[in-house]
Copies of this chain bind each other. A is one copy, B any other.
Amino acid sequence: MAETKRTAKRLPPARPDKQPAKQPEKQSQKREEKNVGASAIEKAFAALEAIAELDESPSLSQLAVRLGVPKASAHRIMTQLEQAGLLQRDLSGKRLRIGPRMARIALRAIGATNQPEIHAAMERLVQRIGESCNLGALQGTRIVYLDRVECDWPLRTHFRAGSQVPLHCTATGKLFLAFMDEPTREDILRSLTLERHTEKTIVDPKKLRAELARIRAAGYAENDQEFMVGLIGLSVPVLDARGRLLAGLAIHAPIARLSIVQSTAHLASLREAAAVIAKVSGA
């Protein structure tokens, strides 16, 4: 309460229980992550995502709690989404659900995600090798997975497309570090904290530089359990016509099934698939 300028505003019963003793702090401790810096876009999509994710259409307050935003803010966001035709309310006018415009976008968007040609090339590779593969690209100072094809083995990792991993302890990440020009690399290396994930993670900048030089010379990058224990990887470059690195195509497997040495036997298949991907990407 600041400067209650309202003077004779006739406050009816004055309600002494303004501080209800029931829940002093309900969700205050819960909102730690989407606090600041969240753009309006991110908030709107978080809301949409929550509604799509839920099995039942939520009410406004349920959403507010779930998103960790005040009710008033939730209301504003929902109103905007509703006016945009992305949400609509059910007959009672209380619960929110996906609107017609969003349904329309969704129908088109499902087919417009990844290039079928690329996905097909990766599936063929998985078929031939028998282990999972993924396609990753540099975004900022991390690797994002653009696409991913899993093998049939019961034991598999599960990084979905879109997830991000660090540069210094993944095959594709080291590949990108190795292939970028000197000043950029040094700049990034300086700003990275070489976080240790396993025993084998390279956390010494000197050793990492040596490893990168080795990768540059070899033309491919290995990951010997540097990110997760028991998991190895092997990544080859996807180059465009001018020799620039577009992405890294990698296979990975539990070391129980595939050793580093064995994995290099698949280099030819990997390179072949990488060439196909480069080609269908118009490179």
Taking a contact as CB atoms under 8 Å apart, the answer to whether A52 and B282 are in contact is no
Question: Which residues of chain B are near A146, meaning CB under 8 Å?
Answer: 88, 91, 110
Residues of B within 8 A of A192 (CB): 120, 123
A281 touching B104, Cβ below 8 Å: yes
A56 touches B103 (CB 8 A): no
* A123 near B110: Cβ-Cβ < 8 Å: no
Q: Determine the chain B residues whose CB is within 8 A of the CB of A6 once the complex forms.
A: 93
Q: Can you list, as one digit per residue, whether each of A152-192 has a CB less than 8 Å from chain B (1) or not (0)? A: 00000000111000000000000000000000100110111
Q: Does the CB pair B187–A117 fall under 8 Å? A: yes
Q: Are A188 and B102 closer than 8 Å at their CB atoms?
A: no
Q: Is the CB of A191 within 8 A of B140?
A: no
Q: How many residues of A contact B (CB 8 A)?
A: 86
Q: Is the CB of A113 within 8 A of B44?
A: no
Q: How far apart sit A51 and B81, CA to CA, in the bound complex (Å)?
A: 19
B110 touches A103 (CB 8 A): yes
Interface mask (A48-68 → B, CB under 8 Å = 1, otherwise 0)? 110111011100000000000
- Chain A residues at the B interface, C-beta cutoff of 8 Å: 5-6, 9-10, 39-42, 44-45, 48-49, 51-53, 55-57, 77, 80-82, 84-86, 88, 90-93, 97-121, 123-124, 127, 137-141, 144, 146-147, 160-162, 184, 187-188, 190-193, 238, 240, 246-247, 277-278, 280-283
